Structure formats: structure tokens, C-alpha cells
Structure 1
């Protein structure tokens, strides 16, 4: 017994890191923690109080605690436990709940077939790794999700970036490097901007490219019954693959890939995340099935989140915030340099508004921001509270000095800028 006590009280010793790794870790603490964050942490501010408004969750439809979903998961845990723990590649049979859910999600998204993955990250990396190779140019919007870039890297393919939402630049790149794979998000998670999907699909069709659309932030919130932006725009026959994280509007923990029936089998035997990760647990499958019931039925949730987001976008724009073309439930306040974003974070959190801090590598250097994720449950009073706080802090956070504010001023039409800068005639 005394030996056990001594072991518990002994200080755990890790193997010392070799120089090449120790210097890399030290550089993080020196360059970011000390210089950029003044010894603190950009993502660790105040602890929310009881009256805090949480705008950091991706639960856009406010269903994470929905009783139908919770009850379905609880019943399944009691009856099935964690089920059979194995790779999803082994799943088969007419009575398999996960395969039934795959078919149901595919039908919901107007697709021939689909594959459930462990996460949106696994869906994206697994898909790109399965369709790209070293001989394939992959055209990626500069603001596409990092998991898509990681998929290109893991495939050993050539990543060719194009300017955000710039269809002309995309076409120029394709004309230079040849047919390949085009990757975009329908709604971009960093700033809430929306992809010009119809124009992108036109370019892909003209140049014989495969089109991949990540619908993580539009599935559930856009389209008929929440089926996504691709369905809303009538592009299902022009988009080869759609992916989605079900940790956003679906408030779960999984990913999904739409594809043809033939590709469905190929993916499960080619995608490394599909082969070498365990399948979803039974209660996760049952929870997602119940979630789909709620999302298909409750159109009012989509209307509420769209209305709430529209109201805030209009009011914050009127206050002088550059929202970087947000057209969705994602609203980004881009302070720029990380020290300035910490000032913004603290100003908001002191007043009970908690968003998500985005910084490199989630953003470009010196384009860090606080992201506000708008949900369906926000009341009129809470929306007004957000507006009042953002109004109150403008001088404190030096909004007029933000790089995004200056960019916004420079985007005004030349005639408007000329009128604003012209001398004012004073009546005699």
C-alpha cells in the first residue's frame, strides 16, 4: 500500500523533448503567448455569468437540449449501451440503423446516396483523399475550411488557391492548370459570406471539373426543410459531392458526404478515416435520426435564425462595423491584430456577450476576429442588448482604427468618397 501511495504522490516525469521540438514549443510561448497575448490566452477570457449571452455555439436552430432528441438518445443508451465498437466499413445488413440513417439523410439532401463519418473533418479529409492525387490540381477558395486543405495535403495533390468568392480568378486558375477539383463552402464559417454557387457550377461544367461543396453551415438552416443551399439553388445535378459537419445545426457529432450509389461503396474502402476509425455509437445514430425529424418539421426555427441574423447584420452595419459580406447567421467582428481582438473580446465579455475568437491558423495573420453565431432562440430584448453593447464599445475598441473598417471605407463608390471629401459650401 505504501508503494502505491508513493507512486500517486510522485511527480510525473515526461521524456525530455529533443531540441528541434523543444524550440518549436518554446517559440509558441515566446511569439504568441508572450508577445501577441501579453502572457494570457486569446481564447480564454472571462468565465460567463448566469446572464451571459452565448454566441459561440453552432447550435443555430437551438435544438441541442430538445427533449425529443435527448429522450431518443437516452433510450438507446439504456437498451444498446455503446453497441459494437468497430470500423464502419464492416456495417451491412437490412436492419443496420446507421445505414438506414445514411439513406434517409441522402434522401433529405436530394442525393442518390451518402456516407456517415465520424466528424465533418473526417468527411472532408476522407473525401478529398479519395478523389485527388498528385496529378490532380485542386482549386480551393482561400477561405475554405481547414479540413478541406488538409484533405488536399493528405492526398498529395496540388493545392491551387483562388481569391475568396472570385469566380473570374477561379476560371483563370483552371485555364492555367487544367481540369481538376474545385472546393468551396456554401456558407463560410469565418465570416458568414455565401458562395456564388451557380456561377461556380457554371465554370466547373465548362471546364470539366469536379465540384465539392461543404454545406456544414447551410445544412439545416437553408433550403426546403433545411436541405441546404445546393438544393435551394437547384444545383444537385451539378454538384458532385456535398459534405457537412453534423455538429452545427444538427447539434450532434458526425459528418456526412453525399455521393452516387457507386461511389458510396468505393468511399468506404478508400477513405482512410472511414477505414481506420470506429463507427458512430448507437445513441449518436438515434439522436441524429430524431434531430432530422425536428429539423424537417420546425420551419419556424429557420425563419427565426434568419430573421435574427438579418436584424443584427443591419443594425451592426449601421453602427459602422464591416461584416465582410456576411449573408448568414455568422457575423464576424474583425478587429485585425491579435492584441486588438483581445481588447474586443474583453469589451464584449465584460458586458456579458460571449462569442468565439478566431485567429491564425483559422484566419489570415492580422485578421483575427470575434465571431457571433446567431441562433433561433434569441429574443428581441437579447438582440437589442447585443446592438447596445456593440454601440457602447465602439470608442473603447477603437473601431475606427480597425483594418476592416478602413477597408470598408475604401470600398465605397468613388463618387460617394468624392462627395464626402468635397468642401461644404457655407451659406453667406
Structure 2
């Protein structure tokens, strides 16, 4: 057995890391694993049992195992294998990826589009392609980390504004000048929805480039799932829309809707596009089949919206502060990471598995459990979740959560709005 381990390198000494790297690694284990998590791990709770209720997947329409999608991918994998492994800049002619780009763009009521390796790559590549060191980039403090990383990669100037606060955005634009505005249509941390029309008006007044990340609304909102921008009739006022196709599309890719002349420009200017290989043939065929499923999924979308609305109402009545969620994303914000571990354990011991969000996905002391609602949830499962959340209120010390205290400090809707904006602004990551 020792010889086997030796051949695999299991008994070989690890390379010695210099102090500037080793100190960072040790800081993580000391400050987070030992001091904050008590030697455990905030992301490593119980192993789900066969009757577990999984609310951690972004498969909002519950189509990841749809037979049409599986059949299309299997057929292409058998016929084409992994295809030609190369950068997308070499693609031209009658190519499945280019045809799908055009089909998805038309679905989103856009002139053109670009398929990327992920939503992360889409956001980084886009911002790198439209901003420079001289460009102020206005970004919602709760915007996805990939948008912030895109600003850094572009060498641009990040100018944060308070969450969903169009007035504060306008103040920043007046101060720093014309630039790029970045928002999410639905925010992945707490499920709040951006007031896109109001933001479009600000961008129009100051001739700013408006970019909307529709990762959590494409497929779930709008006509046939075309997204919130289309639902609100803002196609001509939003210059670029991005999306991860690892949410409602249940795949692994990213997308950018764009003007037709920008399509080729992006492919030859964006580093993620130039220096990454294309998606594999079976992934393209799977996404193409998924789009057909999504186009005909109105019943699933109605069920998803109904499930989410009913659960939001029930949890709110139990005293949970859902931080203005208006979507299928529902966050239980326990606050500190220690309290969040307590909440995680209380839920998982009763068979409820959500997603732990903590720094750097949230601000410190704003950690939470995110529940991702999906269309396949039955009434009985929703009642089970509500019952668990009712039963654990004392165990998790709900009344002591900072989010609960904020909820109790709001005597009027006007003050509620102001305090929510101020509190959420702490979520810059």
C-alpha cells in the first residue's frame, strides 16, 4: 500500500511556501476556522438525507433533469464528442454556437449577443471592453462580485451608490461625470428587485451606459422568460444585459446582449473571450434545448412566483426580516457567522438545506442563509419549511438578530425605505 501512495505522491513533502503566502493561509485558519467557526466550517454542515428539502440550487424552474435537455446533450455528445477545443475568436460560418448566440439575443429582444464561459467571465469581459482608467463606473453596493472584479480588471474608477437608491446614484454622477452604471435586476444576496425604470431615467438624463445583470431574472421573469428588462420595455435604454446561464437555464455559460457592431468588437477585445476555449458542443445543444423549454414554461414561472410570494408572506408573518425580497430568493439574515452556523444547524437538523452566504459574499456580520425557491416545490414542502421556521425562532434567537432589530425600528414606510437603503449599503463586497 505504501508503494501505491508513493506513486500517487501522497507521501511526498509539500513545497515550502514563502512567508508572505504562508501568513495569509495561516490567517484564514486562525481567524476564521478556529476563532470564528470554533474549529468547524460554516459551509460544512450535515450531509443531506434522502428526505432533505434542498433550497440551495439556482434551478428555479426545476428543469435541470428535463428529458428534452438531457436527450439533446446526449445525442450531441455521442455524435461530436468534445468537438474542437479552441478560442471562440476562430468561430465563423454555420456554427452551432454562433447560431445559438443569435437565437438567445432574439429571445431577449436584442440586436446581437455573445456567449461566454460563465456569467463571471461575461461581466469581467464586458466592463473591461467598455471602461478604462478614465471612466467612472457607478455600481450598486450589493452588485455581484463579478461586476466589481470587472471594474478592477478594467483599471476603472469604482463609484459605489447605496442599494437601489437612484437619487444617490444621480448625486454621484453629478459629482464625477458621465460613465457606466452597473446594477442587478434581482440581487442574488437578498432577492431585492432593482427599480430599473427609475435607474434608466437617471442614465438617460446623464447619457450614461446602463448595464443590467439579469442572471436571476432571465428565464423566470418577463414574456416567455425574456427577463425584467423586456417586461418593463427597457430594451432600447439598457445598452448591455448580462446573465449567468447557470441559474434558470440550468447550464454552464454566460451571455451578453449587445448592439450588433459590438458583438465582434467584444470577441477581439475581451481577454476572457480571447484567452478561453469555447463551450463544448453538447453544452451548446443543451442550452439550445433549454431555451425551447423555457419559452414554453409559463406554468412553471407562475408556480415559481406563487411559491415565492406565499413563502415570503408566511415568513414575514413569523417575524423574519426578508430585507425587501420580491423574488424567488429569500434570505434569513442571522448576522454574525456564529449565529448563522446556529441557524444552519437548526434548519439542517430538520432536513432543510439552504445556502450559507458570508464574507466576502456579504459584509461581515451580515451573514445569512439563502433559500432559493423553485417551481417544483409542493404545497406540503412549503408548509414543512414554514413549520420549521416557526419552531426554531427561539432556538436561533430570532429576536436578537440585527435584521430583526432593524425591522422593529421602522415606524413608517418612509423611514423603512431610508433605513433599508442605509443598512444595505454596508453590503459592499
TM-score tier by shorter-chain length is over 0.9
Partner in structure 1 of residue 427 of structure 2: none
Q: How many residues align?
A: 415
Q: Offset of 1:412 from its aligned partner? A: 2.8
Structure-2 separation of matches of 1:64 and 1:3: 43
The residue that corresponds to 2:231 in the other structure is 232
Q: Decide whether the 8 Å contact of 2:119 with 2:254 is kept in 1.
A: yes
* Corresponding residue number in structure 1 for 2:193: 194
Q: Distance in 2 between matches of 1:89 and 1:387?
A: 50
Q: Which runs of 5+ in 1 are unaligned?
A: 418-428
2:423 alignment counterpart:
none
Tell me the distance in 1 between the aligned counterparts of 2:333 and 2:83: 45
What is the match of residue 59 of structure 1?
59
Q: Which residue of 2 aligns with 1:107?
A: 106
d(CA) in 2 for partners of 1:65, 1:351: 26
Q: Distance in 2 between matches of 1:364 and 1:318?
A: 26
- Give the alignment's Cα RMSD to 1 decimal: 1.5
Q: Secondary structure at the match of 1:412?
A: coil
Q: Which residue of 1 aligns with 2:371?
A: 372
SS in 1 for 2:202: helix
- Residue deviations 1:59-99 (CA, integer Å, cap 9, x gap): 00000000000000000000000000000111000x20000
| TM-score, normalised with respect to structure 1 | 0.95
Q: Is the 8 A contact 2:89 2:268 kept in 1?
A: yes
**In the alignment, is residue 282 of structure 1 matched against residue 284 of structure 2?**
no
**Partners of 2:139 and 2:415 in 1: CA distance:** 34
Matched, 1:73 2:73: yes
Checking the alignment, whether the CA contact within 8 Å between 2:60 and 2:248 is kept in structure 1 is yes
Cα distance in 2 between the residues matched to 1:240 and 1:415 = 32
Corresponding residue number in structure 2 for 1:92: 92
Q: Secondary structure at the match of 1:192?
A: coil
Of 373-382 and 408-417, more deviation after overlay is shown by: 408-417
Aligned to 2:264: 265
Structure 1 residue 416 displacement after superposition? 12
Pair 1:404-2:400 in alignment: no
CA shift for structure 1 position 3: 7.9
How far residue 332 of structure 1 moved from its aligned partner, in angstroms, is 0.1
CA distance in 2, matches of 1:106, 1:277: 22
Q: Is the 8 A contact 2:108 2:226 kept in 1?
A: yes
2:22 equivalent in structure 1: 22
Structure 1 residue 195, shift from structure 2 partner: 0.1
SS of structure 2 residue aligned to 1:385: helix
Q: Please state whether the residue corresponding to 2:142 is helix, strand or coil.
A: coil
Q: Residue 208 of structure 1 aligns with which residue? A: 207
In 1, are the aligned partners of 2:77 and 2:281 still within 8 Å (CA)?
yes
1:424 corresponding residue in structure 2:
none
Q: Is the 8 A contact 2:5 2:11 kept in 1?
A: no
Deviation of 1:107 after TM superposition, in Å, equals 0.2
CA change 1:262–1:13 in 2 (3 A) is: same
Instruction: Quote the residue 1:174 is aligned against.
Output: 173
Partner SS for 2:20: helix
Does 1:249 find its partner at 2:223? no
Higher Cα Rg, which structure: 1
Structure 1 counterpart SS, 2:153:
helix
Shift of 1:49: 0.3
The match for 1:325 is 324
Say yes or no: does 1:292 pair with 2:274: no
